[in-house]
A and B are shown apart, each in its own frame.
Chain A
Amino acid sequence: MNSNVENLPPHVLRLVYKEVSALAADPPEGIKVYPSEEDITELHTAIEGPEGTPFAGGIFRMRLVLGKDFPAVPPKGYFLTKIFHPNVGHKGEICVNVLKKDWKAELGLRHVLLTIKCLLIHPNPESALNEEAGRLLLEDYAEYESRARLLTEIHAMAGPGGTSVAPQDTNDGPQPKKHAGDPTKRAGPSAAAVPVALGNGASGASTTSSSNSSNSSSNSTAGKKKVRKKRALRRL
C-alpha cells in the first residue's frame, strides 16, 4: 500500500466528496478550486493575493493534500508558486496554527482555504519557516514588502506588466500527474503536479485541460508539455 488514502473509510470519502463538490460549485472569494479527478484527496487551488498586501495582483497556486487520517489530521498545504512569506518554507510548506494545534475535524476544507488566504494578509513571524522573511517583517516592513512584492511579480504574475490570469475552467481544472518512482516524493509540494500555464487566458487554459484529460501519458502531449514547462521556467 502506498500513501493509503485509498484506505479512507467510506464515510470519510463521502464527506470529502461532498466538501469538494461544494467548494467546486461555490468557491470562497478569491480562491479557485480544481479537484483532481484521479485522486479526490488532492486539491489544487489558486489563491488571489489579497489587496493591500505585497501579494496583491498575484495568483498563488496552492496544493492541499488530505492524508489517510483526514479529517482527524489536518490536510497539508503547499504553495506551488514561490512566495516570500514568513510562514512558507522554501519548498512551499505552510506552517499555520489551524493546520496544526488548532485543527478540529469539523473545521472543513473551506475553513482551511480561508485560513491560508488570511495568512497572506496576517503573516505570523513567530512561527517562521522563512526566517529571513520573519526577520524583515519584524524589523523592516518596507524591505519585507518590497521583497515579497518582487517575488510576487516574478512568480505569481503572468509576465512583465501583464495581468495574471488563473485557469478559467473552474469546473474541471488541470489534472495532476503521478510520477512513478518520483525522485522527490518526499519533498511533497509539487511532486505530483504539472505546472499550470498561467497567463494563457481562458481559451488557453481549457485547451490545456482537455489535452490533459484526453491522454496524459501519450508521447505527443509530452513534447507539448516540455515546451509549456520551458515557458513556465523562463518566467521564474
Chain B
Amino acid sequence: MSSSPLSKKRRLSGTETKTESHCSSNSLATDLSHTPANGMAKNGSDAEIDEGLYSRQLYVLGHDAMRRMQNSNVLICGARGLGVEIAKNVILGGVRSVTVQDQGVAEWRDLSSQFYLREEDLGMNRAEVSQPRLAELNNYVPVTSYTGALTEDYLAKFHVVVLTNSSLEEQQQVGDMCHNKGIKLIIADTRGLFGQLFCDFGEEMMVQDTNGEQPLSAMISMITKDNSGVVTCLDEARHGFESGDFVTFTEVQGMTELNGCQPVEIKVLGPYTFSICDTSSFTEYVRGGIVSQVKMPKKIAFKSLSSSMAEPDFLMTDFAKFDRPGQLHLGFQAIHAFQKKHSRLPVPWKEADGEEFLSLAKEINSAQLGSAKLEELDEALIKKVSYIAAGDLAPVNAFIGGLAAQEVMKACTGKFMPILQWMYFDALECLGEEDSMLTEEDCAPRNCRYDGQISVFGTKLQDALAKQCYFLVGAGAIGCELLKNFAMIGLAAGDGEVIVTDMDTIEKSNLNRQFLFRPSDVTKMKSDTAAAAVKQMNPSIRITAHQNRVGPDTERVYDDDFFESLNGVANALDNVDARMYMDRRCVYYRKPLLESGTLGTKGNVQVVIPFLTESYSSSQDPPEKSIPICTLKNFPNAIEHTLQWARDEFEGLFKQPSENAMQYLTDSKFMERTLKLTGAQPVEVLEAVYKCLVTDYPHSWKDCVTWARNHWQCQYNNNIRQLLHNFPPDQLTSSGAPFWSGPKRCPHPLEFSNSNELHIDYIMAAANLFAQTYGVQGSNDRTGVLKILQEVKVPTFTPRSGVKIHVSDQELQSSNSSIDDSRLEELKAQLPTHESSHFKLCPIEFEKDDDTNFHMDFIVAASNLRAENYSIPPADRHKSKLIAGKIIPAIATTTSAVVGLVCLELFKIVQGHKKLESYKNGFMNLALPFFAFSEPIAAPKHKYYEIDWTLWDRFEVTGLQPSGEEMTLRQFLDYFKNEHKLEITMLSQGVSMLYSFFMNAAKLKERLDLPMTEIVTKVSKKKLGKHVKALVFELCCNDLTDQDVEVPYVRYTIR
C-alpha cells in the first residue's frame, strides 16, 4: 500500500489551493463550494468516491447516498463534547464540508468529554482549537471554524444545521429560519445523564430507503389466476416479506405479464405465500420465476420546531420508561428557563436549586396548551434533572453524538428513516443504587478535567475509576472509541492500567471510522498507535499496548496473575470465536465483561456481571447458513453461490496446490504422513503435487496464459457440458417433473471469445495469479495476452459416458487395486526430488482490499462467468467484494453510539452495582431508527440435591495432596462419591474425554491409578504449560438415586 493512501483519487482544480483554511469568523464570506482546502482534496459534485477509504461505509450507505453526502455542507454549532463528537462522525462520513461554530472558550468542565481540547487550550475558542484536529480526520472534508453569530444569511450556505449547547431562544430562532428556508435542522443536547434529539427535515422530505435492508428475493413455485393472485415460493427458504412491501417479477414462465411489472403491493399470507394484484386475466402460470422486493421512496412531512414543541412526537427508546419522553421534554425546557433566569445551570446536587427548578417546570407545564402538557410531573425525576444538568459525560455525548451524526447523514441523503421528531434518553441507572443524595461539596467543581463528570457522580467514583485495571481486547473501531471514552472519564488515570491488545496493523479502510488513526499510520500496529493517540487526549491515562491475539497460545501471557489483577474486560472484537474465548476466560476468572458489536447501522451491547447475569455464550445468534456443497458444485441459483465457488476456486488453484507442493519439497515427513491417509487420498494428494510441480509447471508468461485459457475452457465449457451430458436440459426426475426446475437452474456452456472483456479479464487475473504462485513475471498487457491467446490450442472435449463394466467384479477388483498401488509407486518415482531447489512456490493468501493484486479481479470474473453459465444476474466488483470477502459493513456513527452505551455500563460496574435491573443490555438500529434496552438475563439457576448453582459456580478440587502426590482418577471419582454424593459417569477436559462409564475395562484399569494431569496430557496429546495452575473439568453425574444431575464444572488446581 502506498504511504499516502488517501492521495490516490484526489482531484484538485487550480483554484482550490489559494489560502489557508484555518479561518475564523469571516472566512466563509465566499460560497462554500469554493472554500479553499489547503492542499487537500475536497468533496463535491465532481469528486469520485474513494472506495478504498469509504469501503465499509459504502456497504452501509451505498454509492448514491455517498454522492449526496459529498454534496452537502454541514454546520455544527457548539464545539463542546457533544458538538465535537457529531463533527467527528460527520467528517469521517465524508460530507462536502463541515463548519464548526462556537463563540465560547474552553473551560475545565469541557475537558470531561471534549476530546480535542487539552488543558493548555483553556481560555481559547473551542471551535478554533478543535478545527485543525478535526480536519485531520478526513482529507476529503474541509473543516472550518466560525466564531460569528448565526444569521439568516450565514445559515443559507448550509444544507444541514446542527445545534448543540444552544439556548431555547436560539433554537427557536434558527428553527424557524431553517424550516422556512428548507435547511435541515437537528438539535442535539446532553445534560449529565440525559440526552435530547430533535429533527426537522422540512415538509417534503423524501426517504429513499426506510430500513437499510437489502431487498429480498425468492424463487416461485406457483402463482394462481385469481383476484388477488396468490404467489407460493419454493420451500427452500421463507420469503421474508411483510405486508405492504412492493415487489416485481422476473423469469416467470407462463404468466409472463408479471415479468418486469410495475411494483405491486403484497399481502403476506404465510411464510411461503403472499397475494398480489388481480391476475385472473393473465396467462396460466407454468413454472419458475423470481420475485424481488422493490424499495419504495416515502415522503415525510416534518413539523417545525415551534409547532413540534407544543405537539411533540416521541421516538420511544426504552419501553420500561414509557412516560419519560414527555417528562424530559418538559425537563429540558426547564433547564433553559433556569439558565435564562440565573445565567447559570442549577448547582449540582443542590436541593434548593432542585426545588426552584421543579417549580419552574411546573410553571412551564401549566403554560402548555398542546399535547406536551403533562397531567402530572414526575417530581423526583425533574429534580434529578436539576441535580445533574450541569454534568457533561463523554459516554452520553458519544451515544447522542453518534445518533445525531447519523441523522445528519439521513438529512443529506434520504437514506434511512429519520427520528420522528423528538428522542429523549436517560441513563439514570448509572447513579448509585441506593438513591442516596450526593452532596453539593462532593460534586463541586475542582478545576480539574473531570469536573463535568464529578458534578454528576462525585469524587468517589472518580477515584475509583483512576484505580481500575482493564483489559481491552481489540483496537479497531470499537477499541478506538472505547479508548477515547476511557481517556475522557479518567479510567486508569491514577494507579490503574489499561492493557490494550490487537495483533492487526492499520489499513486504509480502517481510517474511515477508527478515528485515532491517520493516513501516515497505515501499516503501523493498531494498539501502539491507538494508545499513543489517547495519551494525547488525556496524558494521565496509564495504558500499555500489546500485539497479542487472545487465545490458548497467549495464555502464558494472559495467565492467572494477569487476570486476577484485572477489574474487568472490555471486548472490542470482530468475531464470535474470540468473543466466546474471552467470555470463557472472564467466567473462569469471574471478571465483568463488556461486550459489544456493530453491523452496519445495527449495534448491540451486553454486560456480563459475575454471579449475576448470564454470560455472552449463554445465548447466541444463529450462525450464518452455509451453502450446501451440491448447490455450490452443480446447482447454483444465486450470485452468493457463484461467489463462494469462485473463492473456493481461488484457494484450490492459487493456495493449496503450491502449499502442498512446498510441504512436499521442504517437509521430510510429508510423504510418510500422506501415505498414511485413507482410501484414495495418498494418490490424490500426490497427483496434485505432481500436477503442480510437473504437469502444470509454467516456464514463461505464455505458459501461464495458456494454463488460464485451458482452465477457462474446463470450468465454463467442458464441465458444464459434462453436467448436461449427465442431466440433459429435458431430463425428468423420477416423479416426471423437469429435473432442471425450481432451485436448479439449467446451465449452458460458454464459448470463449477474444473480444469478450469478461473473458479476457478472467485470463488476465488467472494467468497473473498463476504466475505469482510460481514466481513467473506476470503482465498487465492485454494486447500481448490476446496475441498469445490466438496461438493457444485448446484440446477438444467430449463428455465422458459412464464407464461400462466389461470385466467381472473380481477382475476389476484386482486390477483396480493394482492400478492404485502402481500409480502410487509411479508418482513417488516421478516426482521431482527434494533437492530440486529451483522450485520456489508461493501460495497466495486472499486479500480483498488491494485493488492491484488481481485477487478480486479473479473472483469477480470467475463468479460472473459461472453466473452466466447459469443465467444468474452478475454482480459488480463492489458487491462481489462484500460477499466474497465476507465484509462487515461498518459506519462510525453506530460504533460511537454503541460504545457510549458500553461506557455507561462501565460506570455501573465500577460503582459495584448489584441489581440486575441497574444494568442495561442494548440493541439499536439507527436506520429504522429503533432502540431497545433490557435488563440482562439472570444467570440460569440449576440444582442438584438442595444445592443451587449457576455458571459462575464450580467445585474447587486440590489436585496436589498433602503427601505431595497428585490425585489419581480413582481418587478423583471417590472424592466426588464421598464428598458430594455424586457418581461421575463421564469426565472431560475441553473436547477430550478422560473417563466414561462405557470405556473398555482394560483401558479403565490402566487409567484409574494414573494421576489426573497425566491422563489429560495422554488423551489430549497436548503438554501442559508451566503457566497452567489449574484445569477445568466438566462432569456428567448421577445422584444417589441414579438420576442424571447437572453439576457445576470443576476447577482442579495442580500448582
Residues of chain A at the chain B interface (Cβ within 8 Å): 1, 4-11, 13-14, 17-18, 21, 24-25, 35-41, 68-69, 72-73, 80-82, 87, 89, 92-93, 95, 100-101, 125-129, 131-132, 134-136, 138, 143, 146-147, 150, 153-155, 160, 169, 171-172, 177-179, 181-184, 186-187, 189-191, 193-195, 206, 209-210, 213, 216-217, 225-226, 229, 232-236
Contact B236 A101 (CB under 8 A): yes
Query: Contact mask B1036-1055 → A, CB, 8 Å, 1/0?
Result: 10000000101001000000
Asked if B612 is at the interface (CB within 8 A of a chain A CB), the reply is no
> When chains A and B are docked, how far (Å) is the Cα of A62 from the Cα of B850?
42
> When chains A and B are docked, how far (Å) is the Cα of A147 from the Cα of B1036?
46
Within 8 A of A (CB), among B578-593: 578, 580-581, 584
Which of A7, A8, A17, A80 has a CB less than 8 Å from the CB of B679? A80
> When chains A and B are docked, how far (Å) is the Cα of A25 from the Cα of B670?
38
> When chains A and B are docked, how far (Å) is the Cα of A21 from the Cα of B630?
32
Query: Contact mask B570-609 → A, CB, 8 Å, 1/0?
Result: 0000000110110010000000000000000000000000
Contact A13 B1036 (CB under 8 A): no
Write out the residue numbers on chain B whose beta carbons fall within 8 Å of the beta carbon of A100: 625, 628
Which of B634, B656, B663, B679 has a CB less than 8 Å from the CB of A131? B634
Q: With contacts A73-B626, A236-B820 known, is A183 near B584, CB below 8 A?
A: no
Write out the residue numbers on chain B whose beta carbons fall within 8 Å of the beta carbon of A184: 660, 674, 677, 681, 684-685
Which of B236, B623, B684, B733 has a CB less than 8 Å from the CB of A73? B623
Asked if B261 is at the interface (CB within 8 A of a chain A CB), the reply is no
Contact A1 B552 (CB under 8 A): yes
Write out the residue numbers on chain B whose beta carbons fall within 8 Å of the beta carbon of A10: 951, 1034, 1049
Write out the residue numbers on chain A whose beta carbons fall within 8 Å of the beta carbon of B656: 186
Contact B1036 A9 (CB under 8 A): no
Residues of chain B at the chain A interface (Cβ within 8 Å): 236-237, 551-553, 577-578, 580-581, 584, 617-618, 620, 622-623, 625-626, 628-631, 633-635, 651, 656, 659-660, 663-664, 667, 670, 673-682, 684-685, 722-723, 726-727, 731-734, 739, 744, 802, 805, 809-810, 812-813, 816-817, 820-821, 824, 951, 985-986, 988, 990-993, 996-1000, 1002-1003, 1019-1021, 1034, 1036, 1044, 1046, 1049
Known: A40-B993, A126-B744. 9 other contacts (CB 8 A): A4-B577, A17-B988, A80-B678, A134-B726, A147-B805, A172-B999, A172-B1000, A190-B677, A226-B676
Q: With contacts A135-B802, A232-B678 known, is A6 near B1034, CB below 8 A?
A: no
How far does the Cβ of B609 sit from chain A's closest Cβ, in whole Å? Answer: 18
Q: With contacts A37-B1019, A82-B679, A234-B817 known, is A8 near B993, CB below 8 A?
A: no
Write out the residue numbers on chain A whose beta carbons fall within 8 Å of the beta carbon of B816: 154, 236
How far does the Cβ of B647 sit from chain A's closest Cβ, in whole Å? Answer: 12
Write out the residue numbers on chain A whose beta carbons fall within 8 Å of the beta carbon of B685: 183-184
Contact B991 A21 (CB under 8 A): no
Write out the residue numbers on chain A whose beta carbons fall within 8 Å of the beta carbon of B739: 126, 138
Smallest CB gap from A37: residue in B: B993
How far does the Cβ of A125 sit from chain B's closest Cβ, in whole Å? Answer: 7
Query: Which A-B residue pairs are the 9 nearest by beta carbons?
Result: A9-B617, A190-B678, A95-B630, A172-B1000, A135-B726, A131-B726, A100-B628, A69-B623, A127-B630
Write out the residue numbers on chain B whose beta carbons fall within 8 Å of the beta carbon of A11: 618
24 sampled A-B residue pairs with Cβ under 8 A: A7-B581, A14-B1034, A18-B1044, A73-B626, A92-B679, A93-B629, A95-B629, A126-B733, A127-B630, A129-B630, A129-B633, A131-B634, A134-B726, A160-B810, A181-B667, A183-B659, A183-B664, A183-B670, A184-B674, A189-B678, A190-B681, A195-B678, A232-B678, A236-B820
Which of B580, B623, B675, B1046 has a CB less than 8 Å from the CB of A229? B675
> When chains A and B are docked, how far (Å) is the Cα of A38 from the Cα of B685?
26
Write out the residue numbers on chain A whose beta carbons fall within 8 Å of the beta carbon of B998: 21, 24-25, 171-172
Which of A1, A69, A125, A233 has a CB less than 8 Å from the CB of B817? A233
Smallest CB gap from A87: residue in B: B630
Write out the residue numbers on chain B whose beta carbons fall within 8 Å of the beta carbon of A9: 580, 584, 617-618
Write out the residue numbers on chain B whose beta carbons fall within 8 Å of the beta carbon of A36: 993
Write out the residue numbers on chain A whose beta carbons fall within 8 Å of the beta carbon of B991: 5-6, 8, 13, 38-41
> When chains A and B are docked, how far (Å) is the Cα of A182 from the Cα of B675?
12
Which of B678, B726, B809 has a CB less than 8 Å from the CB of A132? B726
Smallest CB gap from B810: residue in A: A160
Contact B670 A131 (CB under 8 A): no
Contact A235 B817 (CB under 8 A): yes
Which of A89, A125, A172 has a CB less than 8 Å from the CB of B629? A89
How far does the Cβ of B201 sit from chain A's closest Cβ, in whole Å? Answer: 41
Write out the residue numbers on chain A whose beta carbons fall within 8 Å of the beta carbon of B951: 10
How far does the Cβ of B908 sit from chain A's closest Cβ, in whole Å? Answer: 25
Q: With contacts A13-B988, A187-B681, A236-B820 known, is A89 near B1049, CB below 8 A?
A: no
> When chains A and B are docked, how far (Å) is the Cα of A80 from the Cα of B677?
11
Contact A135 B629 (CB under 8 A): no
> When chains A and B are docked, how far (Å) is the Cα of A153 from the Cα of B553?
47
Contact B678 A193 (CB under 8 A): yes
Write out the residue numbers on chain B whose beta carbons fall within 8 Å of the beta carbon of A147: 802, 805
Contact A132 B802 (CB under 8 A): yes
Contact B812 A154 (CB under 8 A): yes
How far does the Cβ of B950 sit from chain A's closest Cβ, in whole Å? Answer: 12
> When chains A and B are docked, how far (Å) is the Cα of A209 from the Cα of B1003?
10
Contact B634 A128 (CB under 8 A): yes
Write out the residue numbers on chain B whose beta carbons fall within 8 Å of the beta carbon of A92: 679
Contact B723 A131 (CB under 8 A): yes
Q: With contacts A1-B551, A125-B734, A138-B731 known, is A89 near B633, CB below 8 A?
A: yes
Which of A14, A135, A160, A182 has a CB less than 8 Å from the CB of B727? A135
Write out the residue numbers on chain B whose beta carbons fall within 8 Å of the beta carbon of A187: 681, 684
Contact B821 A233 (CB under 8 A): yes
> When chains A and B are docked, how far (Å) is the Cα of A236 from the Cα of B744?
34
Contact B817 A183 (CB under 8 A): no
> When chains A and B are docked, how far (Å) is the Cα of A186 from the Cα of B1021?
22
> When chains A and B are docked, how far (Å) is the Cα of A15 from the Cα of B986?
12
How far does the Cβ of A65 sit from chain B's closest Cβ, in whole Å? Answer: 12
Contact A179 B623 (CB under 8 A): no
> When chains A and B are docked, how far (Å) is the Cα of A127 from the Cα of B743?
10
> When chains A and B are docked, how far (Å) is the Cα of A200 from the Cα of B732?
45
Write out the residue numbers on chain A whose beta carbons fall within 8 Å of the beta carbon of B617: 9
Smallest CB gap from A11: residue in B: B618
Contact A14 B676 (CB under 8 A): no
Contact A236 B679 (CB under 8 A): yes
Write out the residue numbers on chain B whose beta carbons fall within 8 Å of the beta carbon of A234: 817, 821
Contact A183 B673 (CB under 8 A): yes
Q: With contacts A21-B997, A181-B667, A236-B817 known, is A6 near B990, CB below 8 A?
A: yes
Contact A21 B986 (CB under 8 A): yes
Write out the residue numbers on chain A whose beta carbons fall within 8 Å of the beta carbon of B553: 1
How far does the Cβ of B770 sit from chain A's closest Cβ, in whole Å? Answer: 19
> A37, A143, A186: which has the most chain B beta carbons within 10 Å?
A37
Smallest CB gap from B1032: residue in A: A10
How far does the Cβ of A215 sit from chain B's closest Cβ, in whole Å? Answer: 9
> When chains A and B are docked, how far (Å) is the Cα of A176 from the Cα of B1000?
17
> When chains A and B are docked, how far (Å) is the Cα of A168 from the Cα of B163?
79
How far does the Cβ of B808 sit from chain A's closest Cβ, in whole Å? Answer: 10
> When chains A and B are docked, how far (Å) is the Cα of A21 from the Cα of B985?
9
> When chains A and B are docked, how far (Å) is the Cα of A50 from the Cα of B664?
41
Write out the residue numbers on chain B whose beta carbons fall within 8 Å of the beta carbon of A8: 991
Smallest CB gap from A225: residue in B: B676
Smallest CB gap from B635: residue in A: A127
Write out the residue numbers on chain B whose beta carbons fall within 8 Å of the beta carbon of A73: 623, 626
Write out the residue numbers on chain A whose beta carbons fall within 8 Å of the beta carbon of B551: 1
Smallest CB gap from A97: residue in B: B628
> When chains A and B are docked, how far (Å) is the Cα of A25 from the Cα of B985?
12
Write out the residue numbers on chain B whose beta carbons fall within 8 Å of the beta carbon of A37: 992-993, 1019
> When chains A and B are docked, how far (Å) is the Cα of A152 from the Cα of B681?
18
Contact B988 A40 (CB under 8 A): yes
Which of B584, B813, B1003, B1036 has a CB less than 8 Å from the CB of A14? B1036
> When chains A and B are docked, how far (Å) is the Cα of A126 from the Cα of B631?
11
Write out the residue numbers on chain B whose beta carbons fall within 8 Å of the beta carbon of A179: 673, 676
How far does the Cβ of B680 sit from chain A's closest Cβ, in whole Å? Answer: 7
